[in-house]
Structure 1
Amino acid sequence: MTAPSLAEPGRTVVPAPGFAHLTRLTDDTGLFEHARHAIARRRHGYCTDDVARGLVVTSREPDPPASVLRLAECYLTFLTHAQDDSGAFHNRLAHDRRWTDEPGLGDWWGRALWGLGTAAARSPAGWIREEARVAFTLGACRRSPAPRAMAFAGLGAAEVLRADPDNAAAAALLADAATAIGTPGHSPDWPWPEQHLAYANAALAEVVIAAGQLGDDGPLLASGLKMLAWLRDVQLADGRLSVIASGGWRRHEPRPRYDQQPIEVAALADACATAAAVTGDPAWHTGVRQAIGWFLGDNDFGTAMWDPTTGGAYDGLTPHGPNLNQGAESTLALISTLQHARWLA
């Protein structure tokens, strides 16, 4: 079955975000983390990280069909079950419905708040918005020592603040997230707050941009835009997107080319979309188009990074071509990136 498409005037027709493979990976408990090709691998169970991202993309749909609304409700139920009374979250649930870890404040806590904040701000279903708001408020009182966990939480806080500018808990969390990330260095060849680019790098810049804009802090906004502009430029090769490899890139060391992960592409698309919305500068649209292009074949290998038959995205771009497994993280990254094609069209 051919996927529906969204046409961009004068540009390549891109597929509309589809939820068929996400539905394939979801049961009545949550979202399976891994797949072999397009088939879910149940023995690996579920993780809060991916369920939270599932809540982000389902909540972003402006007019979701009942099937997507059911996915959102399933993911929200999972997250509220994962949360303890202090606002921390479990991350890993086995297929036998037993948690295999203790509640904590790692990346999964941050992503849970990102999903909950997005649902609280954007879901068209009132019962989802209300329950997500309660769980977000509980989690927003905590702070993680990990900058990326704080960055993901900050993305959720920014969503809440856009819908409710007087939300003090969200404002405090977003400000603390920007502080945890830090400010870019003064060297023009490395204007980044860390000496190592790891994963989901653009999310850090996006949070600084959001904190600057929503906190009416011009210098902070300028810092975030500076970070993002540099990150966008260093991830280009002959005009195409070539994202930081999964092993990261340390300053003053050779940059590895592979494996490239869809999460990096989605993070860059989100950040560039935020920069475009905040500044009104259409030049940021180019970064979003390049991210979409990466999935459609405009990448270092010149090959599509998704399967139109299943709607799933491939798990990574390796030196030998795509990793053909279609897990949750990669498919969510594809959906997230394609959602931006609507306002580009």
Structure 2
Amino acid sequence: MSAATPGFRHLLRLSDDTGLFEHARHALVRRRHGYCTDDVGRGLVVATREPRPAHRLTRLAECYLAFLTHAQDRSGAFHNRLSFDRRWSDQPGVGDWWGRAMWGLGTAAARATAPWIRDEALLAFTLGAEQRSPHLRAMVFAGLGAAEVLRASPDSTVAASLLMDAAEAVGAPSENPAWPWPQPRLTYANAALAEVVIAAGELSDDRQLLATGLSMLGWLSDIQTRDGRLSVVPVTGWRPDAPRSRYDQQPIEVAALADACATAARVTGDQAWQEKVRQSVAWFQGVNDADALMWDPATGGGYDGLTGHGPNLNQGAESTIALISTMQHATRLP
């Protein structure tokens, strides 16, 4: 990353030799909240999709991978919450954290520059792929990891099966022209649903499925654009025929949209999708509903949300990873 972007310095601040702390008060780690697999999976995504990682970033990826393999049980499910005294506070399961762990493992298996990281990540991914989740977004996140594996290893039947099951879980868009979305409500990481359908269409050579995903993403992008800038779904969500709140907007929405639009640009070659990625980058740089910079230049941390009074100044793992993820796309824009 260039000097004009936040880089990984706050993510390193939030990490230790065990994993990644979930919360921070402003920039200071809140150790009492411990670690979670959900965030470590996200961290592994951004750490291993760097094409030329510094040594400390490779070490960070190793740490995150070790955390995930420790969290995984013999069935392929994962614990989610580890306290600061290194005790699991839950039983293994297949909630969102399973999906994000699978996304991280799939990305590491496909993109990590260190062969030992790729090998170990693929083993854990393959074990995790024996599971399926009843939760939609867990399946979607796991499907994004499967797409990464399948792009690197087109003959992987394990990844192909998981990806298609994820796209099937999303379902068909509504026939309501005012709400052409497969779910009755927009909640969180919405663009990931469209991205996994796009990926499934691309990698199975299903033109209709690809067109469906692109149409979903186009509508979602349009509904989250106001006066040429992003105004994304807030934490309370949106549904048809109901007033739409503008705040508290979450960085994860912007990052998910950037990821999906970057995938759409690569798959289609249509540069209009690159403009949507630019809007996501601009949201963090202050082109948003509050005209507020959404990261701290002093620390490199991402702010936790955009309120009507400006940013929530806490700089936790989710928002910092969303910032890094979006800025990774900024470095690849033409």
Q: TM-score, normalised by structure 1?
A: 0.96
* Equivalent residues, number: 334
Q: Counterpart of 2:46 in 1: which secondary structure?
A: helix
Describe how 1:180-259 pairs up with structure 2 within 5 A: 180-259=169-248
Match of 1:117 in 2: 106
How big is each residue's C-alpha offset from its partner over 1:129-175, in whole Å with a ceiling of 9 and x where there is no partner?
A: 00000000000111001111000000000000000000000000000
Q: Counterpart of 2:311 in 1: which secondary structure?
A: strand
How big is each residue's C-alpha offset from its partner over 1:226-261, in whole Å with a ceiling of 9 and x where there is no partner?
A: 100000000011000000001111221111111000
1:296 alignment partner AA: Q
Q: What is the root-mean-square deviation of aligned Cα atoms in Å?
A: 0.9
Match of 1:76 in 2: 65
| Aligned equivalent of 1:21, options 7, 10, 15 | 10
- Cα distance in 1 for partners of 2:128, 2:80 equals 14
Residue 37 (str. 1) matches residue 17 (str. 2): no
Residue 171 (str. 1) matches residue 150 (str. 2): no
Deviation (angstroms), 1:187: 1.8
Contact 1:46 1:93 survives alignment (8 Å): yes
Gaps of 5+ in 1: 6-14
- Cα distance in 2 for partners of 1:288, 1:36 equals 29
Residue 272 (str. 1) matches residue 261 (str. 2): yes
- Cα distance in 1 for partners of 2:208, 2:177 equals 17
2:273 alignment partner AA: W
Residue 300 (str. 1) matches residue 310 (str. 2): no
Q: TM-score, normalised by structure 2?
A: 0.99
Match of 1:11 in 2: none
2:219 alignment partner AA: W
Q: Counterpart of 1:325 in 2: which secondary structure?
A: coil
Q: Counterpart of 1:250 in 2: which secondary structure?
A: coil
Deviation (angstroms), 1:17: 5.0
Q: Counterpart of 1:317 in 2: which secondary structure?
A: strand
- Pick which of 15-24 and 110-119 moved more: 15-24
Contact 1:17 1:339 survives alignment (8 Å): no
2:218 alignment partner AA: A
Gaps of 5+ in 2: none
Deviation (angstroms), 1:4: 3.7
Runs of 4 or more off by more than 2 Å in structure 1?
A: none
- Cα distance in 1 for partners of 2:240, 2:134 equals 23
2:69 alignment partner AA: T
Give percent identity, aligned residues only. Answer: 71
